[in-house]
Structure formats: C-alpha cells, structure tokens
Structure 1
Amino acid sequence: MAEPTLGTGEVIVDVVAAPVLSYADEVFSGARNYPLDLPVIPGCGAIGRVRALGPDATRLKVGDWVFCDPTVRSRDDALMPDITLQGWSARGDGGLKLQHHFRDGPFAERIRVPTENAIPIGNIDAAQAPHWCAIGILLIPYGGLLALDLKAGETLLVSGATGNFGSATIATALAMGARCVIAPGRNEAVLADLRRRFGERLVPVRLTGDPAMDGETMKRAAPGPIDAVIDFLPPSVGADVARTAIMTVRPYGRVVLMGGVGMLGGGDLGLPYPWIMRNLVTIRGQWMYDRTAVPKMVGLVRSGLLDLRHFATTEFAVDRVNEAVEQAAADAGPFRLTVVRP
C-alpha cells in the first residue's frame, strides 16, 4: 500500500501496537457478515505516536503517544452521526460511505485517522504499548457502564461475565466503585479466576440452564437488590439466558444491552410488558462509547484504579498477522490479548 497522505482534519500515526480481536477470524471468514468494502487494511484501534498533523490540531504534537480510536463519526449531523469502525465494520449506508474514506485500519506501519480520533494517553515506554492496547477492549464495556449511569456503591450483574468483554466489564465496574459485581457463568475455572483476581466484591454464580432456578440464585447471591444489569452474551447464546439475567434487576433498575444475542437467529428477548412498566425498569441498547469516554478511561488507568497488567499479551510482527488471528481465536479467554507490532 502507498503511504497514507495527510488531509485537513486528519492525523497520521506510526502504529506501535494494534490489538487482534478474539473474533477476528469470524469477521474475515464472513461468519459475522460485517460490511467491509475491500480491499482494506483491517484492524480495530491502535496505540502509536503522532507522525504528522493537520492545521486544525491545536494540542497534539509530533511524537505524542495516542490511542487511535476506531469509532469514526460523520461530522455533518451532530444529532444522528453515522458511524464506521475504521478497518472493521460500518453501521448503515452512511457508515459505509464514511468507510470509503477512513477505510484502512492499523495492521500496518502507519494509519491516517480523524484528528479527534488520535487521543493522547501521556508518555509511555514502547514496551508498554501492547498492554495499553487493552483500553480498546475496556472502552466498550466502559461505554455501556457510562450509559448505565453506574454509580459508586451500586450492585451490578454482568450477563456474559466469563467472556472477553464481560470480564473487562467486571474490572471496569469495580474501578468505577461498584459495591459488588455478580458474575454468572458456566465455566467454573473462569469464575474461580475472577474471584481470585477481584476478591469479595466479585460474586461468582454458576448457571444450571434452568431459568427459574438461575434467576433466583443470582438474586440470592447479591448482597442486596441488583441495581443494574449489563449484557455481553455472544451470538451463540439463546435469548432465554439474557432474559433470565435481565429480570433480576430491581424495580427502578437499569439494563444495557451490548452483546450479540439474536445475530445468528433464534428467539427474541420476549420481556414482559407489565414487568417493565410496573417496575419502572429502563432498558437501552448501547453500541461502542462516547468520545469523552477515552480520556476518562485513560484517567482510570493513570490513577491506578484500573490495572492493565490483568491482560496477558501475545505479540506478533505484522507480517505474521494470520498467525495472530489464529492465536486470538484460540486464546479468547478473559484478560487475554493478542497484538501485532509493525
């Protein structure tokens, strides 16, 4: 590929490390049916250093360490901006149009991003860049927790807690001051590891597959009423599992949906209208995160509240990216991170 050329409102970044998402193989095989207009340099987010700036940058400097936020928004509709994930996916026709320009992702030596998507993280050692890639994973549940308006002292239930995003949700919620996180799942080894990492504020619950029994078990495990539920279940899980977790929330509680339930077909959530209405439950969907989430996430890391060392990283040179994709799929457990380093 040719060198990226700088335009107004853009920044060119030297990529130092880029994460390989655990489901990258499903995107490239077409199993997830993500819209990608080929040819494209793929990838989703990166850590790097500013190489060149456009005239609209007033704070960034050449050499600054930045997180390249893949969530690119159109600039001509503040109310309903179209969104593309640079090098990864797009939402709707407007997102595809946006993808035509900001098409190439970070599996390369350099990347061109909108100015607002090169977000400073402060000085780091180059050897730390792979661990800083973890904020690309953590930001997604952080966006959900901000949408949930999670407050310090509240009890949160994470549906899909033993997955990559679910476990990242646990770490982020505890860093935000959650009193307790309820972590339901079937993988006893992962549940035990979560308890070891986070102590008594993490309450594991082993699911049996019986909705009535599981719902009551989750409620009893909590130290009090469950204030909020966030769902990160993958597409392979049925809607009944998500419904059981959602209906553990207390009256006046909040629910955010961020997972993949229903993307491969199957039944709908089927939540009872009277239960939602009479209990004044708020349910909302959330995709990705607001721009302001990134500097807040950096603040959580810099303050020591959120420890990136939870993540075990495996590194590959960029010319071994196919091996990296295989590794990411095989090592898809909680706090596992595969990165490419151009």
Structure 2
Amino acid sequence: MKAAVLESFGQPLNVKDVPAPVRGTGEVLVDVVAAPLLSYANEVFSGQRNYILPPPVIPGCGAIGRVREVGPDSARLKPGDWVFCDPTVRSRDNALSPEIVLQGWSARGEGGKKIQRYHLDGAFAEQIRIPTENAIPTGDIDPAEASKWCAIVTLLIAYGGLLAMELRAGETVLVSGATGNFGSSAVLVALAMGAKRVVAPGRNMRVLEDLNRRFGSRVVTLALTGDADRDTQAMRQAAGEPVDAVLDFLPPSAQASVARNAIMAVRPCGRVVLMGGVGMLGGEDLALPYPWIMRNLITLKGQWMYAPQAVHTLVGLIRAGLLDLDHYAVSEFPLAQINRAVDSAAQQSGPFNLTVIRP
C-alpha cells in the first residue's frame, strides 16, 4: 500500500510503498478515506514540539474510513461499515490508570512508549490497523463528505474538556484561547451542549469578530489588554453573570499569566479544566494562589484527550443536528501531495479551517 513515512525529524515525508498492516486478534483493519492534518503538524515533523514519535513512522492522528476486516472479538462491526478511527489508544491491563498513546502522533510516559512500539503507525496511508474498540461506528457517510467528518478529531478534544468540567445546559463557560483551533471548536461544542453563554477572550480581533458573526448573542467576545487585573475584571463583566466554568486551550507559546487571568474569572465553587500547552516549552509557572483555590472551593482539573464514550455521544450531537460540521472550511489533498498539505495546514491555521488527506 501507499503511505507517507517520516524517515527522520526535519525531513519531508516520503510517500512510498510499504507492507499493508496485518490484523491481529482484538483489532480491525480500516481503509482510510480521509485523515485530518493538524495545523501544527509541521512543528511535530520538524521536531520542534519534541513529541515522542520515533521514526521511521507513518504519522497521522485519526481518520474516517470503512472497515476492511474485523477480528473474532467484533460483535457488531462488519466490513464496509463507516467508522471514526480514534487515535487515543489505551492500555487494556490497567483500567484504573490506563496508559495512553496517540497512534501515529505521540505518547506519554514509559508505559505509553511501550504501547507505541506496537500501535505506532497512523492514518497517512491507504490502510490502518487499530484496536477494535477504537473503530467507532458513525453511520453511513457520503464519501464526498468524509473530509468534513474529520473535524471530529478537533471537536473531540474540546468536547472532552467540557465533559470533564461537567458542563450543564444553561451555564456560562469561559474558553481561554478561544481564537485558536481547539478553543474555537470548544465554543462550537459548548453551544451544542446547551451553554447559556460562552465568553471568548482573545487578541485576534478578526477571529473574535468571526465568532460573533457565526454564533450571535450567546457568544460574548472580549479583546485582552495584557493587564492582569483589568483583563480578569473585564472577563467577569463581559459574562454579565458569574462564570460557572473555565476551559483553557492556550498554546505553548502563550504566557502563563494570560491563562491565570482567565482562570481567576471563575466564580466561587466554579470549575476549571486545563487542556492547553502553557509551560510545555518552558517559561513561567501557572502559579495559582493557594488561598484563592481553597477559600473559593475551586475545582481544578487537568484533562488530556477525552473519555472513550465521548466519541459516541459527539457523533450523536452531529447526527441530531445540534453540532454543524458545515462551520469547517475543508482543503483536500491526495496522499502524494502530503508535504504541500503540511505547508498549507500551517498557513491556514485559523479557526474552522480543516486540512485533510484523501489516500
């Protein structure tokens, strides 16, 4: 089969013939129809992000495809079924604290590295081998719309954070980093889940204006100034009522103080979920005040990716018409043009832009 291979960091991907994957027990083979190319893929492939992704490897984080072959433990899946290939692979031998690897993308810890040795290759290929539980049925999809369904990869991460904070219909949520890819998707998902109001602070006025245009009065945008006290107070005032929860999606390049200002806009007894990259490349610590957390009964939680059941309910939101994939502008590339696609994804890294490989 054809696949795009990362031979070494800092080198272009090499599209070549490689052996097709062989299915084992507890696994499914899927013909890849469309695979998303994340906007920061160039930073991963250059080595800038220091992701654990040992070359040579077929990268690619998630896909939409059709089942080619199922194993003996598959009760319902059958060849031809449309599925989302969930890249979040979890160890099966520790349900309490499972190790996690992002197939074709990254891993965490020694346990994750061990799993990654087997579940290494990702979706930038004509076929992919995944654990049976990672082949999530989507229902029938028009092949022409398969690329649009690749937005699930970004939406799921946002959805995972909102589920982790136990967002309830009618609540007010603040999305820190709302002008980025994941943050803007969080705005979309929060509205689909019934948020009364979403506060979206940021510094990119063009994106803030676009959020207002797309979502109307349920989204309140706010231009940040960089002044801590002023910004925190402005976020509280913009909400018009207490902020029930804060979801942080700021990137590694953001200053910790920006995240801290948004977090401290939450009401007493409020919830905060951290999913961004602040501090991953060094710099200032988040340094939240201990007395403020304790005396205000703040719930602070870190969340990486999402719970397994999130995929099923997110597909339900899409099928119910509550979450509209038409917000995403899709740019498609054949596998042979993978390096051109990597450049394009970086250049069109704004919210609701989606770059997709069609093997």
TM-score tier by shorter-chain length is: over 0.9
Give the residue type in structure 2 aligned to 1:108: A
- Distance in 2 (CA, whole Å) between partners of 1:207 and 1:77 is 43
Q: Is 1:282 aligned to residue 299 of structure 2?
A: yes
What RMSD over aligned residues (CA atoms) do the two structures have, in Å? Answer: 0.5
Q: 1:105 aligns with which of 92, 112, 122?
A: 122
Give the residue type in structure 1 aligned to 2:358: R
Q: Is 1:145 aligned to residue 162 of structure 2?
A: yes
- Distance in 1 (CA, whole Å) between partners of 2:208 and 2:54 is 39
- Distance in 2 (CA, whole Å) between partners of 1:278 and 1:93 is 37
Q: 1:14 aligns with which of 27, 31, 34?
A: 31
Residue 205 of structure 1 is matched in structure 2 by 222
Q: 1:3 aligns with which of 20, 28, 31?
A: 20
Q: 2:63 aligns with which of 46, 68, 81?
A: 46
Residue 329 of structure 1 is matched in structure 2 by 346
Mapping of 1:78-117 within 5 angstroms? Answer: 78-117=95-134
Residue 183 of structure 1 is matched in structure 2 by 200
Mapping of 1:124-139 within 5 angstroms? Answer: 124-139=141-156
* 1:251 match: secondary structure: strand
Residue 261 of structure 2 is matched in structure 1 by 244
% same residue = 68
Q: Is 1:338 aligned to residue 355 of structure 2?
A: yes
Mapping of 1:263-278 within 5 angstroms? Answer: 263-278=280-295
- Distance in 2 (CA, whole Å) between partners of 1:315 and 1:298 is 22
1:221 shift after superposition: 0.5
1:153-198 CA-partner distances (Å, limit 9, x unpaired)? 0000000000000000000000000000000001111100000000
- Distance in 1 (CA, whole Å) between partners of 2:305 and 2:117 is 20
The total of aligned residue pairs comes to 342
1:200 shift after superposition: 0.3
Q: 1:160 aligns with which of 177, 181, 185?
A: 177
* 1:26 match: secondary structure: helix
TM-score scaled by structure 1? 0.99
1:256-312 CA-partner distances (Å, limit 9, x unpaired)? 000000011111111111100000000010000011000100000000000001000
1:313 shift after superposition: 0.3
Residue 74 of structure 1 is matched in structure 2 by 91
1:144 shift after superposition: 0.4
1:50-99 CA-partner distances (Å, limit 9, x unpaired)? 00000000010110000000000111111111111000000111111101
- Unpaired runs of 5+ in structure 1? none
- Unpaired runs of 5+ in structure 2? 1-17
Residue 230 of structure 1 is matched in structure 2 by 247
- Distance in 2 (CA, whole Å) between partners of 1:14 and 1:324 is 20
- Distance in 1 (CA, whole Å) between partners of 2:48 and 2:238 is 37
Give the residue type in structure 2 aligned to 1:244: N
Give the residue type in structure 2 aligned to 1:265: G
